[in-house]
Every structure is written in structure tokens, then in C-alpha cells.
Structure 1
């Protein structure tokens, strides 16, 4: 797979407890991105944060793993990101979605592995 040098970075800010039906939202996003052939997806877990409802989520020992914040990050060509946004709009019930321009330095995979 080839990425253009000028691409888009999509970030979905959500929480561990957010779901689509019984499936965690972040897992559904990663699976759908793979199904659509996007370049890749990464899920990052935050140690603390809050969103529009101002409810602080933290990993402090007394409330360990209480709906910690997550960021799903995807980089790909602008047209593919824009198409994926349409699907996201139908599944993200709570959270924030951002899109930024990025410069791709390189995108590689080892020979013999699926791209």
C-alpha cells in the first residue's frame, strides 16, 4: 500500500466503555478501518481526561480502569478519511472526531507481509 506524502490524520476521542451494541467502539472502528483497506489504525489509552460532560476519567488507584479515555488514530489519503467519516458519524454517539493535514515521511512494511 502506498500513502501520499500529503495525507490526513483522523482521531476519534472516546472512552473504554463506549460501545456499538455489545462491541467496544474502538474495536469496531479498527475492524471497519481494516475492512475498508485504510492504511492502519492505532488505539491509544489515556491516563486521565474529560470531555463535553466534564466527567473526569482517571487511572488513579482507587478508580483503576474506570472508563479511561481512548484515542483511535488513522492516517490515510484525504478521500479515504472523508469516506470513513461518513461511517463514523453513524456510530459515534459521544466523543470528539478531528481531522488534520499531515506530511507522511514514509510508510513501510516488511517484505513478505501483507500490506
Structure 2
């Protein structure tokens, strides 16, 4: 699959303990993205962060896993990302979603449009 140079980055911020139908929310989002034919998704686990409650979530000291921040990143065409947003509405109960215009410089086996 080749993406156009101009694409959209969908970034979703959730907590590690967030669930939907007894499944981790970040896992459900990635599976839905695959089901809807998006180009790919990556989940990143943060060692430290805070959200709207201002409560710190950290791996430090005695708290081994205190609802750590999770970030799901998905890059695809604007149309496919826009079509995926209503899916997020059905499974997210809390979190933050951002959209950014990005330029794809490398994808798969080609680099800058060259094989």
C-alpha cells in the first residue's frame, strides 16, 4: 500500500486502563483500524503523563503501572481518517483525539517516491 505524500496523522490519547467491552481501548482501536482498512497503526506507551484531571500517571517508585498514558497513531488519507472518526465515537468514553496534516516521506519499500 502506498500513501500519497500529503496525508493525515490521527493521534489518540487514552489511559492504559481504559476499556471497551472488557478489552483494552488501545487494542480495540487498532483492531477497528485494521478492520476498516487503514494503512497502519502504532501504539506507544508513555512512562509519564497527565490529562484533564491533572493526576500524574507514572512508572516511578512504588507505582509499577498506574494507568500509564497510551498514544495510538494512525496515518492515512484524509478521506479514510475522516471516515474512521465515527467509529472512534462509538468506542471511546474518554481521551483526546488530534488530527494533523503530515507529509509521508517514506513508506514500505519505496523512499521519496523511488523504488
Q: TM-score, normalised by structure 1?
A: 0.91
Match of 1:7 in 2: 7
Distance 1:80 1:74 in 2: 10
The 5 A counterparts of 1:1-115 are 1-109=1-109
Distance 2:52 2:2 in 1: 36
**Runs of 4+ deviating beyond 6 Å:** none
Distance 1:11 1:81 in 2: 11
**Contiguous gaps of at least 5 residues in structure 2:** 110-115
Distance 1:89 1:68 in 2: 22
After superposition, the CA RMSD in angstroms is: 1.2
- CA deviation profile, 1:26-62 (whole Å, cap 9, x unmatched): 0000101111111100000001111111111001130
Structure number having the greater strand percentage: 2
Match of 1:17, SS state, is coil
Displacement of 1:66 after TM fit? 1.2
Displacement of 1:64 after TM fit? 0.9
Displacement of 1:65 after TM fit? 1.0
Which is further off, 87-96 or 66-75? Answer: 87-96
Q: TM-score, normalised by structure 2?
A: 0.91
